[in-house]
Amino acid sequence: MKSYLVLDKINGPEDLKNLTPEEMAQLCSDIREKIVDAISGIGGHFASSLGVVELTVALHYLFNSPQDKIVWDTGHQSYPHKLLTGRRNELHTVKQYGGISGFPRRYESPHDIFATGHASTSLSAALGLAKARDARGGNEHIIAVIGDGALSGGIAYEALNNIGHYKTKNLIVILNDNAFSIARSVGAMTQHLTKLRNRPFIRKTEKELRDFMKGLPLVGNSFGKATETLDQGLTFLTAPDKMGVLFEEFGFRYIGPIDGHNLPDLISHLSLAKDTDIPVLLQVVTTKGKGYEFAEEDATTFHGVTPFDVSTGKMKKSPSGAPPAYTTVFGNTLVELAKKDEKIAAITAAMPDGTGLVKFSKEIPDRYYDVGIAEEHAVIFAAGLAVGGMKPVVALYSTFMQRAFDPVIHDVCLQNLPVIFCLDRAGMVGEDGGAFHGIFDLTYLSCIPNMSVMAPKDENELRQMLFTALNWEKGPAAIRYPRGSGVGVPLDLEFKTLPWGKGEVVKTGKKLVFIAIGRMVNQCVKAAELLSKEGIDAGIINARFAKPLDEELLLKAAADYPYVITVEENVLQGGFGSAVLQLYNRHSQLQNVSFEALGVPDRFIEHGSPSILLKECGLDPEGIAARAKSFILGKKQAFPMAVSL
């Protein structure tokens, strides 16, 4: 294993306390080199961690983690933190099955105070930690590190408002201002921060004035009031358009902006923040990808990377001839349809690349909306578009759709508005782990009145589902599809309308039938091939719709086959299998049918490649075939006793 001059001596934050300035600078260099060396070989989050190296070193130098508590918003920038808190020799396992997480995890280290993964949560968590501290009479510092992109999320403002209301002591908010979330940040707050970021640095003048005032014959609270007035006045007078008072108006002592890569300056200003008895907001300007030329030039591409060549910055290519990704098929199809229908609009929440909407943004910019990390707003905004006669398509990751559950119910479904939700990364997404698997959407969407829920078996069916949903217009609909490549079927050039709420028979059989949805249809095809070698003839139904169910087809399947097995890449509780079970329970003549439901077990699934995780859950072809064989040969029970829910 490669050696590093100073980093190899750091086994915990306490080892930073006696480093010289020269050793601190070398440590920052070592950390960057370690991250480049490790992530270039395995892939992972990259540019964000490079941007906070000096900040992380300064925090662990000045504060005493885990007594002082550091909360990393989102957490994809936490690799330097992991290196300094005892996980130096494990970075090469990050996001790998059985390795360390790419995000803070409480089970992993006492220095990971709060598990994160989704944006904009750190301020609320920090306030909770601070008030819990106050309740038990503690005095440790609570530090939240939040990016300017995450500051576009409404949760952050709810927390800012509450922090200011409580005037909580020993609470520091560090605004890591790099002008990015994953893509470049958008919105009025971003424009405001840009003005602050580009204003002249005035803290030298402020220090001189503060020193002058210390020499005045002021006593008691007079000095504090005078310096507080000075701070507010300087912020007000020097900020463009007098907008610098925003954070002060929230009740914070505002410091900044300062250079986030100047370690002595960081330590100086963090020391000032540490000694302030009201909440502090410190704006730190950083460069995403700092120290690696290619990441600095293209921070979006290098936000999360596959293995790459360090000398050229080129990602190592996947084998040629791979089918197009579902994301790509969705993006191309939406552009194709929108060029024919001027009512179609596309909405995303800071994820134009991840959701496949970059092409739409370039070719149809007047109907493209990136609302920032604000999923709730995205959904309500789409509802307004629908009332106005548009056909809004909201493209989100399945895991981020969870954040907008109430607006989906209250603002879309209650009004039965024709909003289309396209949920990327449904099912097992892989290395990002429990916070990002899209294994709940069939459950949380199917329970809402007026909502229809679809999942394509392949990339061509995704095209047809999108076309069908956009032309149905009788209410809201969701289409969920997985990360990664399709199965390799040809794409029909002509669009066709799929019969609403109807499935299809993929294969007939004799002994048992798999009723599968989404990616699991192809898994069942492969499982049926394995079973056929053992003389078990399995039929396969592609449900297409989790809601409404094709009752006619499903009831016929239960009448034709003695064994029925539903298969879904979703939690079993309240999922597709549960809906089929409820259907069968309503029909007493089916009580002699043996029924089994396969899906994701009732626990959070951690990180690893999708193939490994599907195998772990018994949802790979071999696992499905084994469960089916065991079910019909060794565990025959009358329905519904055989249900594995």
Residues assigned a catalytic role = 288, 375, 403
CA–CA distance, 214 with 96 (Å, rounded to integer): 55
* Whole-number Å distance between alpha carbons of 117 and 433: 9
Whether the CB-CB separation of 425 and 438 falls below 8 Å is answered with yes
Residue that has been written with the tokens 């907001």 in this structure: 281
Token pair of 424 as six digits: 């990327």
* Beta carbons of 79 and 87 less than 8 angstroms apart: no
What single DSSP character describes residue 457? S
450 neighbors 419 (Cβ within 8 angstroms) = no
DSSP result, 474-509: SS-EEEE--SSB---PPPPSS--PPPTT--EEEE--
Q: How far is CA 232 from the centre of its chain?
A: 36
Of 145, 78, 150, whose CA–CA distance to 283 is shortest? 145
CA distance 584 to 576: 13
Residue among 175, 12, 147, 124 nearest 76 (CA):
147
Among 56, 35, 104, residue whose Cα is nearest residue 76: 104
**Long-range pairs for 62-67 at CB < 8 Å and ≥24 separation?**
62/267, 62/270, 62/271, 62/274, 63/13, 63/141, 63/143, 63/274, 64/13, 64/14, 64/140, 65/13, 65/111, 66/110, 66/111, 66/113, 67/140
How long a stretch of residues is the chain? 645
How far apart, in whole angstroms, are the C-alpha atoms of residue 3 and residue 507? 58
Report d(CA 606, CA 436) in Å as an integer: 9
Nearest Cα neighbor of 55 from 285, 342, 252, 248 is 285
For residues 347 and 393, the answer to whether their CB atoms sit within 8 Å is: yes
